[in-house]
A and B are shown apart, each in its own frame.
Chain A
Amino acid sequence: MSPALAHRGRCGAVAGLAGGAAFGAAMLVLGDMLPAIAGIVRSDATAAGLAVHVVVATAIGVLFALVTRTGRAGTGELVFWGVGYGAVWWLLGGLTLLPLLRGEEPDWSAAAVQAAFPSLLGHLSYGAVAGATLAALGGASPSGRVGRGALWRGALAGGGAGLAVQAALGWSGQLAAAGLDGPPGVRWGLSLALGAASGLAYAVLYPRPRGAIGPGLVRGLSFGLLLWLAIAMVLVPAASGDGLPWSLTGARARAASLPALLLGATLLVAGYRFLTGLVGVMLEDDPAGLADEGVGTRTLRGLGRGAVAGLAGGLAFTVVLAQVGGLGRIAALSGSSSPAAGLAIHLGIAVVLGASYGVLFRHEGGELEAALGWGTSYGVLWWLLGNQTLFPVLLGGSPTWTAADLAVGLPSLIGHLAYGAAVGLTLALLERRSNPWWAAATGARAQRAQLRRERLAATAPGLWTMVAVILLTILTLVAYAPLDSGTRSTVGRSAGRLRAQLPDAAHRRRASRPHLESPPASATTSTPSPNSGSHLRRRSNGRSHRLSRSAHGLHGAPAEGQTNGNAGPTTRPSR
């Protein structure tokens, strides 16, 4: 083994230890996770569990350092890689290997997965801390000294974003649903301070924005998940003496903070990029460093090709809309209920957003892999910003960020993913048709193209992983089973049922508004579903049984005290 590899392995061990300490501390607070881990050594003692945990955390920290050794990831990127790595270990370790090592069968059922939600948050925390520690130990590409200007810009953009999040939550009456309720002075001051601190952290992690603006926005979305973990799941609850609300029930009660912070961080990054670009244009830009094309050509080409790509994405999204009957809902934007009007508006929006994608992500999606990654990331961003925020606001309501609202928006999330993937791939194919930038003819251009590729390989997949983690988190957080297996709900019916099931004060307040009102659970009718409980059976120990209401703690409206939220017959402690 080379000395460099050995050194990186040692750094990885320290990083894993640091991450394990963070996760271990959380488990000590949460209480019942360490004994489950101790089951690996056939014990149920907390100390034994902690010891096993530390050993495992150190070992996979070494592995983390090794799998990221040839990349050119900077500090911030390494943190994202760490979070993604943590999510993979939640799937592989928490949900799979831990039960196996305990001599049990792994259980990936909805009940078990949702019961393991605290474990998911713990693994994400582990990854974030491990990544940051590895970067601090020199495991990341040097990103240069963080200038005072970058810190000021970060604080300014972060403070503004914090106030915007506070205003949006307050205006929509979702402060309680975000777990950020309190006296106005405290709330505003806390938002400003946390926002500024977040901006400073962002400036330290990503002092020099590189590449187009679009990937920056996805970086903001990813940074938002870190903020959600740190602020909504740790700092604010700890400050208010609530402990760690990492159970499914606890997280659902604060679910509005997730889209709020995801969008807030995106706003932070947009502001930071704007301020940095402004400084660059006014004070720093050198014509020698300008791109091959002027901004006018670049923008016009991006708009045109993006619009075509947006149309392709809109058509892909239409499949979902037509299936769930969403066209009439979109038509409400023009005061109509006609599906034709809805289709026209939908395609119009799709073209506009596609054009914006063409500008924001131009020259970033040369490889189809990158096109798919950026496209779906943009789709997730617009699901949060468009479907869950702007759309209800344009209809006269307020942002729909609660767990119940997010659950109602799941079909739209699938549509946005289809839209984003189609837009990204179509734009990449359009860009490939004429003078692909990545096919360089000269040495200098080849060198630039190679640098761009290396940057892409070092940073972009980490961001796509973060988007996948965001999807996993949201799907695990808001998915719920029907009241009785063998039934199927349409979106509206699901909304009504879910709102009846989820304890959501903020939502109940808005339920009185006619335009957002959903039929009460009792008024809904059910039709047989081929895709929900009836055709999905769990086979365990040779016995098949239907997923039943009892398997989902959600339907039993578990109390906050239930650590795993979804305790039921099939639920086992899981790391």
Chain B
Amino acid sequence: MSARAARVAAGAACGVLAAAVLAPLHALQLVDVAVFGVDPDGTGTALWILLGALPGVVIALLAPSERVPPAVPMASGLLIGVLWWAVWLLTVGPSLAGTAPSWDAPAVSAGLAELVADALQGTVSGLVWALVSRRLPAAGSEVMPARDLPRIVVLGGGFAGVAVAQRLERLARRAPRWDVTLVSERNFLLFTPMLAEVAAGVLHGRHVSAPLRAACPRTRFQRGAAEAVDLDARTVTIRSGDLVRALPWDHLVVAVGLRPTYRSLPGVEQHALPLKTLADAQSVRAHVLARLDEADIEADPEQRRALLTFAVVGGGFAGAETVAELRDLVHSVVRFYPSLEVDELRFVLVHSRDRILPELSAELARYAACHLAERGVELRLSTRVAGVRPGVLELDGGASLVTWTVVWTAGNRPAAIVDGLELEKGPGGAIVVEPTLKARGAERIWAAGDCAAVPDGADGLHPPTAQHALREGKLLAGNLAAELAGDAPKPFRFTTLGMLAALGHRTGVAEIRGRRFSGALAWALWRGIYLAKLPGLEKKVRVALDWTLDLVFPRDIVLDAEPTAPARAELAAKSTPP
């Protein structure tokens, strides 16, 4: 019998015992014989004794698990007795007897004897419970995780990793069942769908980031980079600054996400700006504002053109949203730079395929392309990047683009720790997992999120999106708990809810459950849905305020991050002989 069942049974016994003790007195009083239409001689009191189990059960269910003075359950019993009188005698009893309940003064007056009886029965039940409960096992103590609990290490503080940790917390909220450690290089969860707006200065970086310690308060957190995993010794090496230590695990969850990849193209890693982290977004914004500052005092027309040309590589969600947001940023602040003309501004989106936003339907992709083009964004479709030089973006076929700003969103691959894992890898280097999210061929390693190749049951893979990562994380935690409990795990099944992209200035495209939206409605859906998904109430309020203020105030041009080196300095460095 479980501890909870034992407490319920004991509570019922306490209630019956208390009623039995008081039964001789109750038998002298008013007997509610009409409740079940039974004979008045003794049957009413017998019924009252049996029903005494119910307030006893309520006392047991509501009582705290730790020891308290006897006066506490007695006090609760008195209140529960009075409430029980109102529930049973005035309400449920008459209803079961087929008559309408009545709570008016005559009914209360007629039931005063039962009120005395029930109040006494509740009090005595509380007293008996106080004596009995000391010998019962606790229903669950809430103390720090013990050292001998299964050790679960979660690598990665993204959507999947945090979902795993939170789900494990919830599954063990009444009693410690495992010792979970979350390892992440950053101490916050970045809400990546809003990263482009951070780069555009609409949102503050901290407002789209949830601190991991607050998001997972009952999980141990270690800030550091996972450098190596020893599958035999079951340890993972964590570097936190100069401190390197091995963290033991019984189960390892890999949810490290993706990092940008530059495909060995010359100069891209050195001169292009990635947009994957919060620091990246802040760097992009600072870079753009710094280029405007330089252009404002630049007399050379060729240099001005290069400084005022902003190229984004990659036509997926990140690239399309970034070029749109950068365009809005620059256009909204250009009035602060007196020598700059709007006509001088140039925005280019370079994409290797023949249409942008390949995840969306062709119709919506066409709408997005037309909208961007109408707003002055040049689309270079079916064009690949050959390399980046200072001030020049080189394209395939020998073409080039003069620009000092190249934002790279064109490729990602799993984080470096995944490369070193001796596990089966899928396309792009992702860990191949079973439908249960356990790494294929491994016993105690699990993977979820963008770094995992999750089969979709139709010879394909689930796409690496936040909505998938969240659900994979929850299922992974449930399966892990099931395995520890000896239960069967469940396969991951999920159909993409929809895709949304913001195209700047109150326009967007969305495809939700097969329904397509575009324009202001899609933009509103984007904001509403992502605001709802943003973790943390405080962050929601701050982002909502940021958006509201952005409607009525101009963008801020304060440089709160160190911009990249001035264009002229880079050129000078290039021209200086080694």
List residues of A whose CB falls within 8 A of some B CB. 67-71, 81, 84-85, 87-88, 91-92, 95-96, 105-110, 113-114, 294, 296-297, 300-301, 320, 323-324, 367-369, 371-373, 376, 407-408, 410-411, 413-415, 417-418, 421, 432-436, 438-443, 445-446, 449, 453, 457, 461-462, 464-465, 467-468, 471-472, 475-476, 478-482, 487-491, 494, 498, 529-540, 544, 547, 552
Contact = CB atoms under 8 A, between A and B. Distances in A.
Contact of B66 (A108, A376, A453, A494): A453
B279 interface: no
A530 to B, nearest CB: 4
A529 B102 contact: yes
Q: How large is the interface on B (under 10, 10 to 19, 20 to 34, 35 or more residues)?
A: 35 or more
Given A107-B28, A108-B116, A323-B101, 15 more contacts: A69-B69, A71-B69, A71-B72, A81-B71, A110-B112, A300-B541, A373-B76, A414-B103, A432-B173, A457-B68, A467-B79, A479-B112, A481-B110, A531-B110, A538-B30
B30 to A, nearest CB: 5
Contacts of B115: 113, 472, 475
Contacts of B169: 435
B537 to A, nearest CB: 6
A472 B83 CA distance: 11
Nearest to A105: B28
A532 B27 CA distance: 19
Interface of B: 25, 27-34, 40-41, 61-64, 66, 68-72, 74-76, 78-83, 86, 90-91, 94, 97, 99-113, 115-117, 119-120, 123, 142-145, 169-170, 173-174, 217-220, 537-538, 541
A94 B459 CA distance: 80
5 tightest Cβ-Cβ pairs between the two chains A and B:
A535-B34, A441-B218, A461-B75, A530-B99, A369-B62
Contacts of B113: 108-110, 113, 538
A537 B40 contact: yes
B33 A532 contact: no
Nearest to A466: B75
B142 A531 contact: no
Nearest to B101: A323
A309 B69 CA distance: 30
A435 B217 contact: yes
Given A84-B75, A109-B112, A372-B62, A537 B29 contact: no
Contact of B110 (A110, A441, A457, A539): A110
A564 to B, nearest CB: 15
A81 B76 CA distance: 12
A453 B67 CA distance: 11
B105 A67 contact: no
A438 B34 contact: no
B144 A441 contact: yes
A529 B83 contact: no
A491 B62 contact: no
11 contacts: A105-B28, A113-B112, A371-B62, A407-B105, A418-B86, A461-B72, A464-B79, A468-B75, A480-B106, A529-B102, A544-B40
Contacts of B68: 71, 457
A540 B29 CA distance: 8
Given A294-B538, A441-B217, A96 B25 contact: yes
A340 B62 CA distance: 36
A376 B97 CA distance: 27
Given A108-B116, A464-B79, A481-B106, A67 B144 contact: no
A411 B119 contact: no
A560 to B, nearest CB: 21
Contact of B74 (A88, A106, A439): A88
Q: What's the dominant secondary structure at chain A's contact region?
A: helix
Contacts of A410: 103-105, 108
Given A106-B28, A457-B69, A531 B76 contact: no
A372 B103 contact: no
A478 B120 CA distance: 21
Nearest to A304: B537
Nearest to B29: A108
B116 A95 contact: yes
A296 B64 CA distance: 30
Contacts of B78: 84, 87-88, 465, 468
B105 A376 contact: no
A181 to B, nearest CB: 26
Contact of B75 (A433, A464, A487, A498): A464
Nearest to A406: B105
B104 A491 contact: yes
B112 A96 contact: no
A453 B64 contact: yes
B120 A92 contact: yes
B457 to A, nearest CB: 31
B217 A108 contact: no
A363 B62 CA distance: 16
B219 A369 contact: no
A88 B126 CA distance: 12
B120 A91 contact: yes
Contacts of B105: 407-408, 410, 478-480, 489, 494, 498
A468 B112 contact: no
Contacts of B145: 441
A205 B417 CA distance: 62
B41 to A, nearest CB: 8
A101 B559 CA distance: 88
Residue picked from A71, A301, A464, A535, most chain B C-beta under 10 Å: A535
B107 A472 contact: no
A105 B109 CA distance: 20
Contacts of A407: 104-105
A304 to B, nearest CB: 8
A68 B71 contact: yes
A14 B78 CA distance: 26
Contacts of A438: 142
B104 A494 contact: yes
A297 B72 contact: no
A535 B76 contact: no
Nearest to A412: B103
Contact of A296 (B33, B71, B541): B541
Contacts of B108: 410, 475, 479
A198 B219 CA distance: 48
Contacts of B116: 91, 95, 108, 113
B538 A547 contact: no
Nearest to B25: A106
Contact of B106 (A81, A320, A414, A533): A533
B33 A537 contact: yes
B139 to A, nearest CB: 11
Contacts of A534: 34
A88 B123 contact: yes
A530 B99 CA distance: 7
B101 A446 contact: no
A85 B80 CA distance: 16
A95 B117 CA distance: 10
Given A297-B537, A537-B31, A540-B28, A439 B218 contact: yes
Nearest to A490: B104
Contacts of B120: 91-92, 96
Contacts of B97: 530
Contacts of B123: 88, 91-92
A209 to B, nearest CB: 21
Contacts of A367: 62-64
Nearest to A404: B105
A407 B72 CA distance: 31
B104 A489 contact: yes
B167 to A, nearest CB: 12
Nearest to B32: A536
A296 B538 CA distance: 8
A410 to B, nearest CB: 6
A376 B83 CA distance: 9
A411 B90 CA distance: 10
Contacts of A471: 82
Contacts of A535: 32-34
A433 B174 CA distance: 11
